Structure 1
Amino acid sequence: MTQLPLPVTVPRADDFDDVAQLMALAFHVSLDSDQQEVERATYEPERSLLVRDGGPAVAHASAFTRELGVPGGSIPAAHVTMVSVAATHRRRGLLTTLMRRQLREVRDGGREPVAVLWASEGRIYPRFGYGLAAQRLAIQCETTELRLPEPVSVAGTLRLDRPAGRQPELARLYDRVRADRPGWSSRDERWWRYVLSDPTALRDGATERRVLLHEGPEGVDGYALFRTKDEWDRGGPRGEVRVHEVVAANPAAYLAMWRMLLSVDLTRRLWFDTAAVDEPLLRLVNEPRRLGAHLSDALWVRVVDVPAALAARRYATDVDVVIEVADELLPENTGCWRLVGGPSGASCTATDEPARLACDIRCLGELYLGGTGLGALAAAGRVRELVSGSVAAAGPAFGWYRAPAPMEVF
């Protein structure tokens, strides 16, 4: 192992196998050929950074080109992924080098005002300006302890099928619902193939993935992706339902699908680890404590271009405020910015006017999807109120009527 600085290169498509080997070692999993081929189809080598030490790959970072749902719309966002450093090459500044260069390239590309990622550990990415923008609920419950209300009317039909054969219908419904949900990412044909892929290595002894469809008067208005795992003990069946996605266009479809998921024959438990913090299920079950919901982090957002990012989303109420921003890694973002916005649009421009609020770039990432309160950041001392009353005046605008929700780990 050389101690000299190692060069950072842009990999070729045929470097993917070495990258996959690095990922497997970093995340303590075994390589699976089926899974590897699925992931190869989404890999974007031109958006990746690779470090080799002689032959082996020892550090890597990449990004996917997708859009991210934000309050009031959808914007291009660098979906940062496949970040790792070999155990043999830690504490040599490789991660810092890759993350700094990646941020600079996203900024200079001029198309994506924000970057977004899932963090393996929450302490890693704040030092690069990422803020926790969306949390998730992991639900693990005994289904025998829960009851749901009876439907008001029976206006739909439930069907079970294999997901791949229903991909066009799933995509149409997903896009329809995604338009109003911060945190969901766009899916083209390539991404739908990835989402619906079902390598045996990822099943953990459970069945193949199935899709539950709810068909209303106008066609499919709800779907759930799930699998089941068989288990018995001396008392009888103890099977588990593992839910991966629930997408519903209306309350009737949502309720009907959950009534089935919580009552599958020969199962007694249910697992769903990407529920939203405002998941309607919490308001439907007779005893929400029995859902066993556990709060965790989900999406981390890094504002790359302050004026472009703040102008790209919408605001719950009218706002006119000057914010002083500090950004050590992208100095173009440092300065005072006047944000004028509301439910129908926004603008953000540099200004010499005195600031009313001050924060670092990480705080803007936390605020960006509408899931973090400005007041909470101020109470933590991370947003400074330079003019009394500014937090109360501007705070409601940064929220949104739906919490940002995770959907898939990318």
Structure 2
Amino acid sequence: MTHPLADVQVPAASDFDEIADLMGDAFHSAFDTDVREVERGIFEPDRSLLVRDGGRPVAHASAFTRTLTVPGATVAAAHVTMVAVAVTHRRRGLLSTLMGRQLREIHDTGREPVAVLWASEGRIYPRFGYGLAAQRLAVECPATAELRLPEPASAAGTLRLADPVASQPELARVYDRVRPDRPGWSDRDERWWRYVLADPTAWRGGATPRRALLHEGPDGVDGYALWRTREEWDQRGPRGQVRVDEVVAADPEAYLALWRTLFSIDLTRQLSCGRVAVDEPLLRLVDEPRRLGAQLVDALWVRVVDVPAALAARRYATAVDVVIEVTDELLPENTGRWRLTGGPTGAVCVRTDDPAELACDVRGLGELYLGGVAPAALAATGRLRELRPGALAAAGPAFGWHRAPGAMEVF
């Protein structure tokens, strides 16, 4: 039974505290004063949708305006966030209403051919056309002699500890240097660096304030790590934890030096990092990769909002000329046959009446979009169908990329 509710509205900036209360209830995490101020700094009310019942917020969805690195390019992408429905108003179609309207507005505005999000639960967003486009590894392992990294080939660089906020310009230069080569990373302007480096006590989980470790090479800072530690002892002595947020390095020497330090901090015995790329060099540097305890989990979910614009925006590993038949129940403009031609330097995608060679729904396109899923793997699930024999083998390699997609931050 549908509950009578007010129309969906675009909130004002002054509604943020009520929305924060809704988010805190939905995600079982109180938004204290410090957290509210951090979150308020990135809130975009004009990109938000709010439903009230009796004056009280009961459902909300929003998006951030950012760009996303995709294979060979960057693309404007709606970073969908702050999605919640009050426990008293579940199963009434509110989420479907908000997600459908949000997708329609993104499409009709014409600025962002894709949307991207982190899913609180993987079962929620496929029904709105989102496909799992990037996975990650969650690492939890010993930070002791049980796990060794190789000695550096040279000692050309130096390491120094620094205050993360004071070091933001140096961090940004390294991040911007590395980001173009890593699908799945989002741009960070000054506003977003303030958010990434914010460190409210409520986010520390009993650990220390965040620290920055910088690696300086011949031409300046070429790598950094953001991390914190947590004290722990038992009857056998220290069992402290190292919690790594980010390791970004422009060359192998800096990368190795940073990780060697993180694995050797005094009085620590455990190390964890929740956002490790599936092709992370660390996996091949340690002497016993099984000891990393790496667990494969989902990261970024991509929704192709404008099929021709999205497919033309990215680059392809090899030459491709294929007709794809797409179905999209929420955005019927995407439904039809599309001829994609392109390669490493550019691409074009146009509607066609030619016979389709491959077929999938819009969720399947989202899974393929960042180059992290092989078309053959998707075909094995039945969600990508080969309509012309040989089309999958011919077009499949083009959708890959030389770097696996990663996910550097939760938004």
- Give the aligned partner of residue 30 of structure 2: 30
Q: CA RMSD in A?
A: 1.0
- The Cα of 1:299 is off from its aligned counterpart by 0.1
TM-score (norm 2): 0.99
Give the distance between the partners of 1:356 and 1:31, measured in 2 at CA: 51
2:46 alignment partner in structure 1: 46
Task: Establish whether residue 112 from structure 1 lines up as the match of residue 107 from structure 2.
Answer: no
- Residue 88 (structure 2) pairs with residue 95 (structure 1): no
**Structure 2 portions without partners, runs of 5+:** none
2:347 alignment partner, SS class = strand
Q: Which residue identity lines up with residue 306 of structure 2 in the other structure? A: D
Residue 228 of structure 1 deviates from its aligned partner by 0.3
| Residue 3 (structure 1) aligns with | 3
Q: Post-superposition shift, 1:6?
A: 3.0
State the distance in 2 between where 1:69 and 1:224 align.
21
Find the aligned partners of 2:78 and 2:90 in 1 and give their Cα distance: 25
How do 1:382-393 residues align onto structure 2 when only pairs under 5 Å count?
382-393=383-394
Cα separation, 2, equivalents of 1:390 and 1:238: 55
**TM-aligned CA deviation for residue 54 of structure 1:** 1.2
Q: Contact 2:5/2:51 (CA < 8 Å) preserved in 1?
A: no
1:380 Cα deviation (Å)?
Answer: 1.1
Question: In 2, Cα distance between the equivalents of 1:92 and 1:372?
Answer: 34
| Gap regions ≥5 residues in structure 1 | none
Alignment of 1:250-399 (within 5 A): 250-399=251-400
TM-score normalised by length of structure 1? 0.99
1:132-171 to structure 2, matched below 5 A, reads 132-144=132-144, 145-171=146-172
For the residues of structure 1 that align with 2:386 and 2:282, how far apart are their CA atoms? 37
The structural deviation recorded for 1:4 is 1.2
CA displacement at 1:115 relative to structure 2? 0.1
> What's the secondary structure of 1:8's corresponding residue?
coil
C-alpha offsets along residues 224-255 of structure 1, whole Å, 9 cap, x if unaligned?
A: 00000011111111000000001000000000
In structure 2, give the amino acid aligned to 1:34.
D
Structure 1 letter corresponding to 2:331:
L
How far is 1:5 from its partner? Answer: 3.6
Aligned to 2:127: 127
For 1:20 and 1:31, how far apart are their aligned partners in 2?
Answer: 7
* Cα separation, 1, equivalents of 2:150 and 2:48: 49
Contact 2:62 2:82 (C-alpha < 8 Å) held by counterparts = yes
The amino acid across from 1:139 in the alignment is: V
Match of 1:246 in 2: 247
Can you list the C-alpha shifts for 1:111-151, whole angstroms capped at 9, x where unaligned?
00000000000000000000000000000001222000000
In structure 2, C-alpha distance between the alignment counterparts of 1:44 and 1:3, rounded to whole Å: 28
State the alpha-carbon separation in 2 of the partners of residues 283 and 76 from structure 1. 33
Q: How far apart, in 1, do the equivalents of 2:154 and 2:3 lie?
A: 70
2-structure distance, mates of 1:59, 1:400:
38
Q: Give 1:216-231 correspondences, 5 Å limit.
A: 216-231=217-232
Q: Distance in 1 between matches of 2:73 and 2:281?
A: 22
